Amino acid sequence: MSVIGACMVPHPPIILPEIGRGEEKKIRETADSYMEAARLVRRLAPDTLIIASPHTVMYADYFSIGGGSEGKGSFSRFRAGQVKISASYDRDFVRALSDLADKEGFPAGVTEYPDPALDHGVMIPLYFIRKEYTDFRIVRVGLSGLSLTDHYRLGQMIRRVSDSLGRRVFFVGSGDLSHKLLKEGPYGLAPEGPVYDERIMDVMGRAAFGELFAFDETFCDKAAECGHRSFVMMAGALDRTAVKTRRLSHQGTFGVGYGVCLYETAGEDPERNFLDQWEEKERERRAAVRDREDPLVRLARLSVETYTRTGRPLSLREAEKALDLPEDLLTTRAGAFVSLHKEGKLRGCIGTIAPCRDCLAREIIENGISACSRDHRFHQVEEKELPLLEYSVDVLGEPEDIDSPSQLDVKRYGVIVSCGRKRGLLLPDLEGVDTVEDQVEIAARKGGISFEYDRNIRLQRFEVVRHT
């Protein structure tokens, strides 16, 4: 067993006496738990520490792996520049992991311009671990904006590399929990904050890693956590592995959650194949969703799948032959948006405010093609992604002028913000858009419109019929 243990730990700079200057005593329980983690590392005596940190270089669609021979850093930004940390990288491990990712077409590797300075998400675990054990090298891994399942897959790859190299590896999942636990805390209080902390500590305390995938992205964002992806990657490194688990502590003294759990491997356990189990459930769920899709969504799906597989647009004749299209799709005209989601995250969304084609069916066909291939926020959908996509189609009603945002309802109405030729639109009832103020601000930003500098701004609202 090459991955011999792991820990879930926080990284609050205030926990260091040189920074806390007495305040660290308020989280003594967390510091004591950290030392227990350090003693576990000493007892297991790993060759390599893998440290996943949310403060290492982070890209939307790529995992950065620290390159070079050594990383150095200090706590100067926390007014403790005298505290310096350095660590040698396991260059053979980094090379092997990058090569494996390249071979499998997985988006991870050493970037051309890696940040040479160690971040505090890496340094704080090293600060404590080195009090007990120093005979190791590290691999520093950043998180990404990719899915939770991709973070788990990278953890699986880390395990495969540790097996192939015969390394004794200890995985450090560095991450704080919610930053919104207390009204008087530095980030305030959000209802989701305490709920997230209670839930994540329950999951990690039971090592029930399959439940990590069920945390909704919007919920995590509102809770303002920073460690969830670190924990998922750690879980991937422990895939199909039995673990002895110890939940040590959880504190939220300063309004930010600090949790510590330890894991010691205890042999193979094929039933702890959490990603396989999750993907099987997702396949069953998507199949059920697909069976319930209405005709407009089926048309959008057929358009996307045809274009992605063949590179040519679906013809209306082909659509009529393959699907039982309702008559009104062929006789009415309307603006429509086609939205694609993958693993709970937006994968493309393009539409028309007013009708541009001779019937709604053609509108959906063309906007489906645009959503999968012309949304500048995303690369073109690949054929391997098609089974993972979920669709919705919004058919827009006629826009009407309004005098103020008070005439909007974020759940009922979409909004169009215009200024001259600039125009931004946002659909109603979008996940994560909870207030009219947010809705209007996002629509204006999409149109490049500034309420501070632009004049004669026009607001319109419209209703939609959403098809799923």
Q: Which residues of 185-291 form beta strands (DSSP E)?
A: 241-251, 258-268
| CATH numeric code, 293-389 | 3.30.700.20
Closest CA to 138 of 160, 113, 119, 111: 119
Closest CA to 241 of 277, 202, 262, 270: 270
- Within the chain, how many helices (H) and strands (E) appear? 14, 17
pLDDT at 1: 63
Closest CA to 105 of 62, 166, 165: 62
Q: Which residues of 79-181 form beta strands (DSSP E)?
A: 80-88, 108-109, 137-142, 169-174
Amino acid type, 275: L
Long-range contacts of residues 369-378, Cβ cutoff 8 Å, at least 24 apart: 369/303, 369/304, 369/307, 369/313, 370/338, 371/300, 371/304, 371/338, 371/339, 371/340, 372/304, 372/307, 372/308, 372/340, 372/348, 373/307, 373/308, 374/350, 375/348, 375/349, 375/350, 377/348, 378/347, 378/348
The Cα 105–Cα 383 span in angstroms is 15
pLDDT at 113: 62
Query: The dihedral of CA 89, 93, 94, 95: what is its sign?
Result: positive
pLDDT at 452: 84
Fold category of 3-277 in CATH: Protocatechuate 4,5-dioxygenase; Chain B (3.40.830)
pLDDT at 112: 67
pLDDT at 116: 72
Find the length of the chain: 468
The Cα 162–Cα 387 span in angstroms is 32
The Cα 41–Cα 120 span in angstroms is 19
pLDDT at 111: 81
The residues near 261 (Cβ < 8 Å, ≥ 6 apart) are 7, 8, 201, 204, 205, 207, 245, 246, 247, 248
Burial class (CB in 10 A: 0-12, 13-18, 19+), 334: buried
Domain range summary for the chain, segments of one domain joined by +: 3-277, 293-389, 397-468
What are the tokens at 389?
A: 């996509």
CB count, 10 Å around CB of 464? Answer: 21
**What is the pTM assigned to this prediction?**
0.89
Closest CA to 295 of 210, 225, 365, 220: 365
Per-10-residue mean pLDDT, the chain, length 468: 94 97 97 98 98 94 93 94 96 97 96 78 98 98 95 98 97 98 96 98 98 94 97 98 98 98 97 97 93 96 98 97 95 97 92 95 98 95 94 96 94 95 93 92 94 90 96
CB 166 within 8 A of CB 159: no
pLDDT at 115: 65
| CATH numeric code, 397-468 | 3.30.1490.150
